[in-house]
């Protein structure tokens, strides 16, 4: 770590549009550690909530009431009263699913980033892939099955796409140069109804570049219908015996009636 | 005159008897209580209360003394999430219908419908939903019939009454028994897909095929026949 850096920026999360979560008074927070070479303690509103948090680790999501939170990050086991390495005031809106990340900016300085995760529903059969460039590295292309999924991605920028649920070969390459591969994931599984969020973290020049992955499931929707018959063999009419006995009954009634009329006449 | 009258009376009796017999014995589309399943599978999960609000910032303090912060705080956890290799259903047996069919994993069509392979001898399992026995509705769909292939595995699904035992065999050579509990016929547009494809709630095995009236010009049935089953030893899902 170079120097303790103090950032006191009130960073507002984007308000979640729509009314789907209007009643929810909670938000969800996940923490991602993307600053290499530093194990930290994380304080929320001056309370230690995450100890000995290591580079490359992603926490489980934590449900918190929607509110403003002071996030302080200190070197592991540092005096809680000491100046934090990083500090940020984060607003968690109701219904939001946010990720708070410590990462390097494009020049290699640590910072706190706040991301709003896309938890809108996915179409039946689809999953979602989110890629976030949070490493000290040049702009990159993100390739899925050798096609450019997100082009010319800079530090601090994310790409989000809904794709059919499947395994994908994912490559991070130099911009416009698919042969210069920075890193490759041979088979990244994008499950149906799940947002798989991949973070590029570390410092490419220093050899600490790697990926961290967060998954948010439960975004699925149901198929529209179940088409399961084109034959028309299913008999939906009246049974043959009923038709036969009604015919016999009818004949008897008609015959009796005719006879009666004849006898009268 | 007498003969004519008895002929008419006999005719009327036969007519009434036939209609009464038909009314009593004709297959009814619904059986059991399908609404129980529609409810149990779509009941909202109770949201986890924000167990312990963090101390400090907000002014919603209720005047109670500050709790001991270390015990009251929710903490971030870093979970180990081992990959669970769930068992996959491979065959379905319905002894009451004399059916024993292989199950294949199926997804969705381009238009968003569930994929049901064009083979009347196979059953499709909706692979994105739960496997039989997992929470929620495990969906097994099969064609009632197909043009050119004739009747399918689920041709007689509409006659399966509550209490019928069916079996699902899995790829790990295990078998689970299910007991049918309810049968429903839904118009295609009224199919309760949220319940039928639910991934939460009690474990339910849901069998689906087509039924209702057949439109010969578009070669489509206008309804879906759905049979709900529960693990053999389980009680019905509770109504709310």
Pick from A227, A239, A256: CB nearest B116: A227
Q: Among residues A184, A204, A221, which one ends one of the domains? A: A221
Residue A234 covered by a domain: no
Residue A100 covered by a domain: yes
Q: What is the CATH number of the domain that holds B113?
A: 2.40.260.10
Q: What is the CATH number of the domain that holds A147?
A: 2.60.40
Q: What is the DSSP string of A169-217?
A: EEEEEETTEEEEEEEEEEEEEE-TT-EEEEEEESBTTTT--EEEEEEE-
Q: Do A76 and A178 sit in the same domain of this protein?
A: no
Q: Among residues A78, A94, A116, which one ends one of the domains? A: A116
Q: Test B220 with A63 for CB contact under 8 angstroms.
A: no
Q: Is A263 on the interface with B (CB under 8 A)?
A: yes
Q: Do A10 and A107 sit in the same domain of this protein?
A: yes
What is the mean predicted confidence (pLDDT) over B157-164? Answer: 93
Q: Among residues A83, A116, A149, which one ends one of the domains? A: A116
What lies within 8 Å, CB to CB, of A50 at 6+ separation is A31, A41, A42, A59, B75, B76
Residue B16 covered by a domain: no
Residue B13 covered by a domain: no
> What is the span of the domain harbouring residue B99?
34-42+87-231
What distance in Å separates the CA atoms of residue A90 and residue A112, rounded to the nearest whole number?
10
Q: Test A260 with B1 for CB contact under 8 angstroms.
A: yes
Would you tell me which residues 176-205 of chain A have a C-beta closer than 8 angstroms to some C-beta of chain B? 192-193
User: Is the whole model's pTM more than 0.90, yes or no?
Assistant: no
For A70-108, write each residue's pLDDT tens digit.
999 999 999 999 999 999 999 999 999 999 999 999 999
CB contacts of A25 in chain B (<8 Å) are: 50
Report how many domains make up chain B.
1
Classified as helix, coil or strand, A29 is: strand
Report how many domains make up chain A.
2
* Backbone phi, psi, residue A80, to 5°: -60, -20
For B184-216, write each residue's pLDDT tens digit.
999 999 999 999 999 999 999 999 999 988 888
Residue B166 covered by a domain: yes
Q: Point out the residues of chain A with pLDDT beneath 50.
A: 1-23
Residue B5 covered by a domain: no
Residue B160 covered by a domain: yes
pLDDT at position B47, please?
Answer: 47
> What is the span of the domain harbouring residue A21?
1-116
Strand partners, A199: A132, A212
Q: Do A159 and A214 sit in the same domain of this protein?
A: yes
Residue B124 covered by a domain: yes
Pick from B47, B57, B213: CB nearest A67: B57
Q: Do A112 and A3 sit in the same domain of this protein?
A: yes
* Backbone phi, psi, residue B40, to 5°: -60, -30
Classified as helix, coil or strand, B15 is: helix
pLDDT at position B75, please?
Answer: 86
CB contacts of A250 in chain B (<8 Å) are: 11, 15
For B46-60, write each residue's pLDDT tens digit.
544 444 444 444 444
Q: Do A67 and A170 sit in the same domain of this protein?
A: no
Nearest-Cα distance to chain A for B89, in Å, is: 19
Classified as helix, coil or strand, B151 is: strand
What lies within 8 Å, CB to CB, of A35 at 6+ separation is A55, A102, A103, A104, A110, A201
Does residue A11 contact residue A70 with C-beta atoms inside 8 Å?
no
Q: Do A131 and A45 sit in the same domain of this protein?
A: no
Residue A235 covered by a domain: no
Residue A226 covered by a domain: no
């Amino acid at each position: 770590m170079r120097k303790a850096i103090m950032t006191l920026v009130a960073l507002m999360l984007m308000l979640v549009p729509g009314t789907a979560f209007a009643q929810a008074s909670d938000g969800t927070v996940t923490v991602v550690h993307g600053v290499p070479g530093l194990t930290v303690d994380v304080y929320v509103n001056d309370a230690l909530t995450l100890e000995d948090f290591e580079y490359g680790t992603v926490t489980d999501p934590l449900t918190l009431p929607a509110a403003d939170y002071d996030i302080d990050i200190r070197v592991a086991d540092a005096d809680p009263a000491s100046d934090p390495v990083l500090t940020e005031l984060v607003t968690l809106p109701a219904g939001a699913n946010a990720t708070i990340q410590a990462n390097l900016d494009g020049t290699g300085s640590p910072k706190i980033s706040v991301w709003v995760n896309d938890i809108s529903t996915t179409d039946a059969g689809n999953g979602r892939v989110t890629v976030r460039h949070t490493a000290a590295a040049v702009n990159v292309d993100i390739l899925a099955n050798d096609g450019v999924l997100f082009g010319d991605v800079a530090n601090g920028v994310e790409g989000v796409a809904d794709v059919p649920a499947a395994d994908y070969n994912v490559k991070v390459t130099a911009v416009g140069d698919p042969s210069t591969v920075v890193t490759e994931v041979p088979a990244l599984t994008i499950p149906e109804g799940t947002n798989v969020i991949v973070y590029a973290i570390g410092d490419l020049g220093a050899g600490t570049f790697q990926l961290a992955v967060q998954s948010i499931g439960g975004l699925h929707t149901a198929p529209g219908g179940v088409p399961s018959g084109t034959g028309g063999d299913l008999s939906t009419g009246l049974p043959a015996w009923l038709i036969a006995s009604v015919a016999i009954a009818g004949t008897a009634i008609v015959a009796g009636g005719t006879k009666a009329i004849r006898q009268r006449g | 005159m007498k003969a004519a009258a008895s002929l008419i009376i006999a005719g009327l009796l036969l007519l009434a008897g036939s209609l009464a017999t038909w009314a009593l014995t004709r297959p009814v589309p619904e059986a059991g209580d399908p609404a129980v399943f529609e409810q149990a599978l779509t009941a909202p999960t109770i949201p986890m209360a924000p167990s312990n609000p963090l101390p400090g910032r907000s002014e919603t303090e209720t005047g109670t003394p500050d709790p001991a912060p270390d015990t009251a705080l929710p903490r971030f956890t870093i979970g180990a999430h081992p990959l669970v290799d769930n068992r996959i259903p491979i065959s379905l047996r319905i002894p009451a219908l004399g059916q024993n069919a292989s199950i294949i994993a199926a997804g969705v069509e381009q238009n968003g419908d569930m994929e049901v392979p064009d083979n009347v001898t196979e059953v499709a399992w909706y692979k994105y939903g739960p496997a039989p026995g997992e929470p929620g509705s495990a969906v097994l769909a099969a064609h009632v019939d197909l043009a050119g292939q004739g009747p399918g595995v689920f041709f007689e699904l509409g006659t399966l009454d509550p209490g019928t035992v069916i079996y699902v065999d899995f790829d790990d050579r295990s078998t689970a028994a299910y007991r049918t509990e309810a049968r429903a016929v839904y118009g295609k547009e009224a199919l309760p897909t949220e319940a039928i494809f639910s991934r939460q709630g009690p474990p339910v095995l849901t069998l689906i095929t087509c039924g209702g009236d057949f439109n010969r010009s578009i070669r489509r049935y206008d309804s879906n026949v759905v049979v709900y089953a529960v693990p053999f030893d389980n009680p019905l899902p509770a109504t709310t």
